[in-house]
Amino acid sequence: MQTTQDRIPIKAYALPGAPQDLQGLIRPCKSPRQWMDHSPERYAYRCIPLTAANTMGWELLNGVDCEMVWNGLSAAAGVTIYRHQQQGLGPRSHFGMGTVTWDIPFLFRTPPDYGLVVTGPGNHDRAHIAPLDGFVRTDWVPFPFTMNWRITTANQAVRFAAGEPICRIYPYPLALLEHSEIEVHELDRDPELKAEFQAWLSQRQQAYQRRNQAVGNQPHNPKAQRENWIQRYAHGVGADGKHEHQNVFRCAPVADCRALTGNGDSP
């Protein structure tokens, strides 16, 4: 198990004007998604890669209820933003082309040879607007980054609630991609893996048959239907009964060290 000493330190220096209370600014990513809650039998949560991705990293949160409308023109003035209250960190129109920008109230620092992947909140669905991803060299860049979303539908109101996640960050080693390569092979070259794949395929087909039969026999009994899904992957058990995998990530809570150093200033 990884100890505290083994963790990669990510320092977030609070910029002037950042609120003293961090609860409304940044938090570890959470697994639940409203659209997944509303999926039939909540089946979306059985997609373990999807659920694991939901929990990767930390989320930065919108500071104020707001609504924005883009008129379809390229100028920055083409976006009108309505803030429900003046206090709190919220978006502005800066780059044009229907783009709205959130100023992040932290200057992040990562260890040498690590940067931060900056994305929209993982697997959150939003209509009429899309997050713009980025990668920031936070191991040396001496200024903060912004989070940007691009409105994709003109004359359509888009709303963000206070406390809603607008950005996700997680560290990434700089050398990993350029030191990796993809090799395509025939599956026959790995007989053991092929046998595991064929066993999985057979079990999946049997599980689908059992589930379809359960749905037909007990259409109003979700428990009986759930029992017929393949459980091995969800529990992280391989074909040999030994393998384990990361179903969810448990990112560390944000530690506010300002009070410890005596440098915290009230907003």
DSSP string, 60-102: EE--S-EEEEE-S-SSGGGEEEEESSSSS--EEEEEETTEEEE
**Are 165 and 28 spatial neighbours (Cβ–Cβ below 8 Å)?**
no
Give me the average pLDDT of each 10-residue run along the chain (267 residues).
Answer: 71 89 89 93 87 95 95 97 81 95 96 97 94 98 97 97 96 96 97 93 83 66 53 58 72 86 49
Which residues 6+ apart lie within 8 Å of 67 measured at CB? 81, 82, 84, 157, 158, 159, 160
pLDDT at 159: 97
**Which of 233, 178, 264 lies closest to 52 in space, CA to CA?**
233
Question: Locate tokens 């023109």: which residue?
Answer: 73
pLDDT at 226: 53
97: region left, alpha or beta (phi > 0 left; psi from -120 to 50 alpha): left
pLDDT at 167: 97
Q: What CATH topology corresponds to 9-178?
A: Deoxyuridine 5'-Triphosphate Nucleotidohydrolase; Chain A (2.70.40)
Residue ranges covered by each domain of the chain: 9-178, 187-244
- Cα–Cα distance measured from residue 164 to residue 25, given in angstroms and rounded to the nearest whole number: 10
Q: How far is CA 167 from the centre of its chain?
A: 8
Global pTM value: 0.84
pLDDT at 131: 98
pLDDT at 207: 78
Identify the three-state secondary structure at position 160: strand
Query: Tokens in use for 250?
Result: 């448990």
